[in-house]
Every structure is written in C-alpha cells, then in structure tokens.
Structure 1
Amino acid sequence: MVFVHLLVNVGVNLVLAFLVTIYIDIIIGPYHGFIVTIFSPPLSIVVPAFVTTLGSLFLLREV
C-alpha cells in the first residue's frame, strides 16, 4: 500500500518508492518483533511469530 501510494498519489519514481517501502519494512519488522517478544510466552513461540511477522511485512506490504 505504501509502495502504490508513493507511486500514484505522491508521484515518486519507481526505485525511490521501492527503497522507501523497504526502509519502512526494516523499521516496522524489528519493532513488531520486539513487541511480540515482550508479550508472548516462551521462546519457541516468539521466534516463529517474529519470523512470520517480518516475512509477511516484506512479502505482503507490496501487494
């Protein structure tokens, strides 16, 4: 959604929109993983939740 917004509404070129989107994903992923780590049960549940969150941000943010 951020990628499309930057392209369509703001008029940013393709490469810059892609880089900004990746930068936002890099910021949000670890932050969300930190929150999951604090509020989740034992480590066996935390690590898959963090990996899932970060992976979904990279894969589904562009859709």
Structure 2
Amino acid sequence: MDRADFAHTVCRFQTTFFHHGFTLKRYGTNERRHNAVFTIKYRLSHFSARPLLHHD
C-alpha cells in the first residue's frame, strides 16, 4: 500500500468516525449511542486488523 492509499483510507476512516460523533450529539438516545459506539468499535477492530504499515 502506497502513501496515497494510506492517506485516503485514513481520511475515509476519520470522516466515518466524525459522522458517528455528530450523530451521537444530534440524537442522544441510549439505543442510538450504543449502536453507534458498537459500530465504531467494530470498524476500529476491522481497520486495525489491516496490515496498513506492512511493507514487503
């Protein structure tokens, strides 16, 4: 993975993260908060599982 791909992936991930953060502030119900946090944690685990910094 080159630098451009890495930067694009990080940018996309940050956009998704901030979107969920905005959703949490906009709707403050426990159910929506729980679902959004679960989604963030799932995406974090999936995101970190990728070998982003691996160089062949």
TM-score, normalised relative to structure 2: 0.49
More helix by share: 1
Higher relative contact order (CA 8 A, sep 6+): 2
